[in-house]
Amino acid sequence: MRAVVQRVKEAWVEVKGTRVSSIETGLLVYLGVQGTDEPADVAYICEKVVGLRVFEDSANKMNLSIQEAGGSLLVVSQFTLYGDCRKGKRPSFAEAASPEKARALYELMTAKCREHGVAVETGIFREMMNVYSINDGPVTLLLDSGKMF
């Protein structure tokens, strides 16, 4: 499982011109599910996301988690995080999970984050979405449950 995590001042998702979800201060999480992922991968990514100390404390140091900062998550499914561009110019998505498996693990991820007491908004799975964000910093981090980076 992979995640691109961005600290944001605001983020929202539109589908067919209609805003379907939004957050203010928090983290925008693009989540990619690999075909071999299991619930343990979800647990790893969830723990990382809710525990990342990327919000500033009173000394202006990145020292607070989203829970401590009182922020929200906007989690957007993005199978293209498993796009392999090493050969040719057209990405291969062979490593991405099937839509059924990806949806199940995506929903598990959002549920687990909510269990940590974090407010979670989502995109709409398998819809063409426009995602807008006002990055804070910018702070952008890459997470991989296989610890590839």
The reply to whether 79 belongs to the active site is yes
**Spatial CA neighbour of 119 closest among 18, 23, 44:** 23
- Token couple for 89: 């110019």
Global pTM value: 0.97
Percentage of the chain beyond pLDDT 70 is: 100
Catalytic entry in 79, 93, 110, 125: 79
Go through 87-96 and write b for each residue having 16 or more CB atoms within 10 A of its CB, e for each that does not: eeeeeeeeeb
- Summarised one tens digit per residue, pLDDT across range 12-21 is 999 999 999 9
List the beta bridge partners of residue 2.
32, 144
Domains in the chain, ordered, with CATH? 2-139 (3.50.80.10)
Q: Specify the pLDDT at position 149.
A: 84
The reply to whether 80 belongs to the active site is yes
String of DSSP letters for 37-93: --HHHHHHHHHHHHH---EE-TTS-EEE-HHHHT-EEEEEE-GGGG-B-SSSSS-B-
Q: At 146, which amino acid appears?
A: G
Where residue 60 falls among pLDDT bands split at 50, 70, 90? very high
Catalytic entry in 80, 122, 140, 149: 80
- Summarised one tens digit per residue, pLDDT across range 79-132 is 999 999 999 999 999 999 999 999 999 999 999 999 999 999 999 999 999 999
Helix (H) or strand (E) holding 117: none
Catalytic entry in 78, 110, 140, 149: 78
